[in-house]
Structure 1
């Protein structure tokens, strides 16, 4: 069913800086590219928020009846530490520190990324290309850029001439930056750099002798620039002009700006019609950072093994919490906010489950068709998930009135109510119906084991070692191992 013919979707386009009616290039089909992870460490929650936001977009477009080709890459080479321009490749750095092959690093963290996305019940993309799998396409792209007069080679490396490109095009239009201002604000580093202009970015870097990941090219044995890979892969699978390009706001400059320049330089047309950017995630009101300890990984959130939150939270609850903020607004993770969100999640799920127990009558006290359209209106307004959730809570109030016998509903409206709740909870948001008891099982187990640890500590203090050993051994028999350390006793499940 082609719902898109009856729903007018608007999206906020970062390029025009306003909401626009969404009109795909080919009717009924959407091409969408999202910058994927650089796989050198565990995926962090901020990245998860971006990928879950685009999972919501992907799911809603599919729900509307569009045929969607969703391409999300894996960066497994070329992303240097300082915005892809200098420093060490983080994958190589991790491989050197752990004394393993770079591709072992890539495999380890690609698997972690997929497991986390699976835990969040995110749909896999249609195509998931890797940078290392598209070296030939990237070399061909560089040759094209050089032939167009916007690339130059120095000492085996190739750079994009931003100043020359800006004479014919507009460099900085996505991020709203002016090249003249950028040049005047740049410290004079020309003497230290082989580039013509400080703003020029690498298309190909000659590999130093110690650099393990390298490929032959017309210029040198080396590796491609980070910005180049996304242009090569997006245009290969979606064409020179496609519908949607997404990513985190932090990628707007320089990454996405450079993508536009590369594509326009060789294809003479704007690569993307709608640019969508997600906002950042904070933790307890501060930026998330490993260096400050104000950081939590998805698996630490799910297991409760962290010093920040009071208990574990199910992946679907964390996802629901993220959707309670609009993807373009800053979202702050905190224990109180997650607990409140968890209560709301279970209230919604209880209401949905109880619909099947309601007996219809011959009139309705709630305009279900109008309410259903209000759910679509929310999503049609730049994927406004908080407004959608508010509408679902409106329906929850009505369902509770029906359960209490304080309201009535016809059979056809009841069926429409159930279908709409199902569609938006599970098909569009991709939530998973877990019961409150299953969420609390982990908490109850922790509390029971902590009680046994306390009893064992008391037995040891009283020199009752027989009881202390019995508690430890019997827990071991059921797969719970106690570990005594300086900070006290902890436990793990075998």
Structure 2
């Protein structure tokens, strides 16, 4: 269903620092590239937040009726330990420590990445290219940049000439940095450095004799620069200019800044119309860091095997927690915050179950179309998921008011509530409930709970209040709440 023609979607463009009306290059089509992981370790929760945020964006664009080509890369070479042009390749270093081949490391952590995102119910991208699968294309674009006068060779390495580029373009426009300030703040260039200037960055690095991951090139054996990989993979699959480029806020400089420079140097024009950046995730008010021990892996959340949370949490609850903050805002992860999110998630899940029990009337007293419009308005305002969730809670109030007879709704109202709730809860936010997944565990729980509810109903019929209360109280202690209503007894898991 095509909805985008009736919706005024606004995106916050990091390049301009303003919200802008989204207009795709080609009618009905969207090209979106998101920087993927460097696969040398288990994907951490902060990375997951970025990928979950762009999954939500991808889902909403599809919901609006756009045909989206979503490209997210795998970096399997060229990302050095200092995130610039020095140090050891992160994957090669891990391979050396683990005494494995680099591609064994790549395979192991690519599988982990896919497994974790699958548990979070992320949709896979349409194309997932790897850096090592595009070495030929990277060499060719380097030749073009050299021919255009924006790169030079030094001892088998190729460097991008930032000062030359800045004569014709603007280096630093994404991050808001001025080249003259960068130069003034740069320490004196080491006499042994190959670069003409400290701001220059590598397009191709000569491989030392000990460097395992290496490829032949016109300049000798070497490996590509980290920044170049994304320029090549995005332009190959989405074109020299495409609609949306996303990634974490930490990639804005230098990674994305360098991508813009490379794209303009190679093709003569800006590579991306809208730059979107997801913000960071903190843990108990502090930056997540493996070195300080202030970090937690997704699997540790799902199993409860960690020192920060009092219990295990399902992937959908964790995803819901992340959706409760705008993707551009810093989000702090804590035990109290995730517990509160779980309660909210359960309330919305219960509301979805309740929709099936609503009774219609000839006239409705609730304004469902206005509520639907507010849901779209929230997402059209730069994918404002926390406002959308607030509207879903308003929808839950409507549902319970109709069920309790405090409000009335027509059959068309009820169908619109159900359609909208399902669309935003399941399809856009990407959340899952046991009733939606139809899991074996859910079916077993439903069967066991029906037996317990029947036993309690029999006890109440026999005026055995002690047994009835004991069943209710012990279920509460186990995190299961019974609710007695005119249509019988239902349960919710807290």
CA-CA distance at 1:201 after TM superposition? 0.2
Corresponding residue of 1:10:
10
Q: What corresponds to 1:265 in structure 2? A: 265
Deviations 1:424-458 (A, max 9, x none): 0001111001379979x99xxxxxxxxxxxxxxxx
Query: Structure 1 residue 83: deviation in Å?
Result: 1.7
CA distance in 1, matches of 2:83, 2:189: 16
Indicate the residue corresponding to 2:463 in structure 1: none
Q: What is the CA–CA distance in structure 1 between the aligned matches of 2:155 and 2:133, rounded to whole Å?
A: 25
Cα deviation code 1:290-334 (max 9, x no counterpart): 011100001001110111111111000000000000000000000
Tell me the CA shift for residue 84 of structure 1. 2.8
2:248 is equivalent to residue 240 of structure 1? no
* 1:171 has 2:181 as partner: no
Offset at residue 233 of structure 1 (A): 0.3
The Cα shift of 1:196 comes to 0.2
2:414 corresponds to 1:414: yes
Shift of residue 281, structure 1, vs aligned partner = 0.3
Name the CA distance, whole Å, in 2 between partners of 1:102 and 1:366. Answer: 61
Task: Please tell me whether the aligned partners of residues 190 and 197 of structure 1 are also in contact (alpha carbons under 8 angstroms).
Answer: no
**Structure 2 residue matching 1:19: 3-state secondary structure:** strand
- Whether the 8 Å CA contact 1:346–1:435 is kept in 2: the answer is no
Task: Tell me how far 1:366 sits from its aligned partner.
Answer: 1.4
Counterparts of 2:34 and 2:355, CA distance in 1? 37
Please list every run of 5 or more consecutive structure 1 residues that lacks an aligned counterpart in the other structure. Answer: 443-494
Q: Cα offset for 1:259?
A: 0.3
Matches within 5 A, 1:134-145: 134-145=134-145
Q: Which runs of 5+ in 2 are unaligned?
A: 446-494
Separation (CA, whole Å) in 2 of partners of 1:59 and 1:109: 25
1:26-37 mapped onto 2 (5 Å cutoff): 26-37=26-37
What is the alpha-carbon distance in structure 2 between the residues aligned to residue 217 and residue 210 of structure 1? 18
Contact 1:119 1:315 (C-alpha < 8 Å) held by counterparts: yes
- Matched residue SS, 1:274: strand
Residue 490 of structure 1 is matched in structure 2 by: none
TM-score (norm 1): 0.88
Structure-to-structure mapping, 1:320-399, within 5 angstroms:
320-399=320-399
* C-alpha contact 2:189 2:197 (8 A) present in aligned 1: no
> Could you tell me how far apart the structure 2 residues matched to 1:413 and 1:402 are?
11
What's the counterpart of residue 455 of structure 1? none
Q: What is the deviation of 1:365?
A: 2.0
Aligned-residue offset at 1:359: 0.8
Q: Is this contact kept in 2: 1:190–1:196, CA < 8 A?
A: no
Q: Are 2:130 and 1:130 aligned?
A: yes
Instruction: Give a deviation string over 1:2-46, Cα, whole Å, max 9, x none.
Output: 100100100000000000000000010000000000000000011
Deviations 1:133-166 (A, max 9, x none): 0000000010000000011000000000001100
Once residues 192 and 252 of structure 2 are traced to their aligned partners in structure 1, the CA distance between those partners, rounded to angstroms, is 27
**Structure 1 residue aligned with 2:102:** 102
SS at match of 2:426: helix
Classify the secondary structure of the residue corresponding to 1:220: coil
The CA distance in 2 between the partners of 1:193 and 1:353, in whole Å, is: 65
Q: What secondary structure, in the 3-state scheme, does the structure 2 residue paired with 1:170 have?
A: coil
Q: Shift in Å at residue 406 of structure 1?
A: 1.5
Q: What SS is found at the alignment partner of 1:191?
A: coil
- Counterpart-to-counterpart distance in 2, 1:33 and 1:110: 18
Contact 1:368/1:413 (<8 A) preserved: yes
Q: Which secondary structure state, in structure 2, belongs to the residue aligned with residue 205 of structure 1?
A: strand
Query: Which residue of 2 is the match for residue 69 of structure 1?
Result: 69
Q: Deviations over 1:79-126 (max 9, x none)?
A: 001123111111000000000000000000000000000000000000
Aligned to 2:434: 434
Is the Cα–Cα contact under 8 Å of residues 160 and 200 in structure 1 kept in the other structure?
A: yes
Question: What corresponds to 1:212 in structure 2?
Answer: 212
Quote the residue 1:51 is aligned against.
51
Is the 1:78–1:84 contact (alpha carbons within 8 Å) kept by the matching residues of 2? no
Q: Does 1:151 align with 2:162?
A: no
Q: Secondary structure at the match of 1:183?
A: helix
